[in-house]
Amino acid sequence: MARTRITSQQVAQRAGVSQSAVSRVFSGASASETTAQRVRAAAAELGYRPNVLARSLITGRSRIIGLVVAYLENQFYPDALERLSNVLQARGYHILIFTLSDRDGDADKVIEEMLDYQVDGIIAASVSMSDGLAVQCAAADIPIVLFNRGQDDAGLSEVTSDNVAGGQRIAGFLLAGGHRRIAHISGWQESSTGRDRTRGFHAGLAAAGQRVVAEIDGKYRRDIAADAAMQIWRTARPDAIFVGNDHMAFGVLDALRGPLGLNVPDDVSVVGYDDVAMAAWPAYDLTTLRQPSGRMVEATVATLLARIENPDLAPEKIRIEGALIQRGSARKPKGQQ
């Protein structure tokens, strides 16, 4: 049998208040504590659930944030997604999630679908977004913030770690540890994060008169990075490898220790980028540059909600510096052993 929907009018009658009082309670508007308690008690007795869609037609707000995420094989994203969901829920919002590969090239289609759901804002954590995205969102008056991603478009707000500074810090750490034959397995060079980490790493080496002995684009894929590590070892014999993120670094460590039978860090040091939970596992014990995901999430949500309240705010480019976490996969500078 079809379920009979309880109306706000029935709740008002049970609670002995006006229908507008019920609306105020469930919309978060001003209502006395006594009224709120009576309304919520009546709603619980009747099994009433407010119609969020109907309310959004009245208020013009769906209280839904669209989230586009990249491939979830990278352990950084499930953690960030959970943080984003928790922070948004604490502020009275829910997220509608769409997943796609950074290389699918269909992000614009996904955005169109999210606009159909009348989301209040969009958090984009995928790099395969055309410049037309900003135009689409602006035309629909939908605020957007890029998370852990950047674009050249000055009209988009974005929040990332300071990837250039992170790459420089890793270069300085490896040089201080006495490494001179340093290789790089980069993040996908079609992404701003991959390019910026590489640019900072090159700059850090160049400041000391050094350059990489070999470099391959790992495309943020573990299998490609593992193959790249074996190729680089056989051709260049590096004493250190900086890998563009932890997800790839785990594949590099497995390849070096497994098929190649090398000792890490005695034969070759490995440094990653992200500091996901697995990096601290004894099996990997990975030295890595920590992305401050908690602060990045807070900044992303604050920026987006501010733009929802005031669409005329100027776009922001926020860079948050992260710490280098030293573990056992890389030789440490003298005095730190």
pLDDT at 134: 55
User: Is 2 a residue whose pLDDT tops 50?
Assistant: no
Please check the confidence at residue 51 and state whether its pLDDT lies above 70.
no
Backbone angles phi, psi at 185, to 5 degrees: -105, 105
Given a cut of 80, whether residue 126 has pLDDT beyond it is no
Q: Which of 3-7, 15-19, 185-189 is most confident?
A: 185-189
Could you report the per-residue pLDDT of 6-45, keeping only the tens digit for each?
888 888 999 999 888 887 887 666 778 888 899 889 988 8
Chain segment 148-168, per-residue pLDDT in tens: 988 766 778 999 999 999 999
**Residue ranges in the chain assigned as alpha helix (H):** 8-15, 19-27, 33-46, 52-59, 76-90, 107-116, 132-139, 163-176, 192-206, 222-236, 246-257, 293-309
Lowest mean pLDDT: which of 106-115, 145-154, 224-233? 106-115
Domains and CATH numbers, the chain: 8-50 (no CATH), 64-158+293-313 (3.40.50.2300), 163-292 (3.40.50.2300)
DSSP, collapsed to helix, strand or coil, labels residue 153 as coil
Partners of 324 in the β-ladder? 289
Q: What pLDDT is recorded for position 251? A: 98
pLDDT for res 96 = 87
Task: Determine how β-strand 287-290 pairs with β-strand 324-325.
Answer: antiparallel
- pTM metric for this prediction: 0.81
